[in-house]
Amino acid sequence: DQQVKQNSPSLSVQEGRISILNCDYTNSMFDYFLWYKKYPAEGPTFLISISSIKDKNEDGRFTVFLNKSAKHLSLHIVPSQPGDSAVYFCAASDPSGGSNYKLTFGKGTLLTVNP
């Protein structure tokens, strides 16, 4: 039972264009959402997050949108750069079971930005 789903295993875009990565979730208890980027042989690196009380958060070239009613979030990267090529993981924070939250991850989307 996968609670966080990234239905696109891969995405290819041209440099300078917009990259849109999508994520769906099923658990309505999730209250905080994060995007991580992962290069081969490295651990995931935090990119941007959004609380469930907001519908948009922006940080430079990265914007995350949250649609709670649809249980859907997306990450927009504008403009895309070749260095953005990596696997992107969507993660959701579950408030149950402790004072600090465990993360539930999707399977990831491989983004390739072509020069």
Interface residues with another protein (CB under 8 A) are 4, 6, 31-32, 34, 36, 41-46, 49, 51, 89, 91, 93, 97-108
Measured from the CB atom, the residue of 42 and 115 that comes closer to another protein is 42
Measured from the CB atom, the residue of 79 and 94 that comes closer to another protein is 94
- Residues present in the chain in total: 115
CB of residue 1 vs another protein: minimum separation in angstroms? 10
H-type alpha helices, the chain: none
DSSP 71: T
CB of residue 39 vs another protein: minimum separation in angstroms? 10
Measured from the CB atom, the residue of 85 and 104 that comes closer to another protein is 104
106: three-class secondary structure by DSSP: coil
The β-bridge partners of 90 are: 35
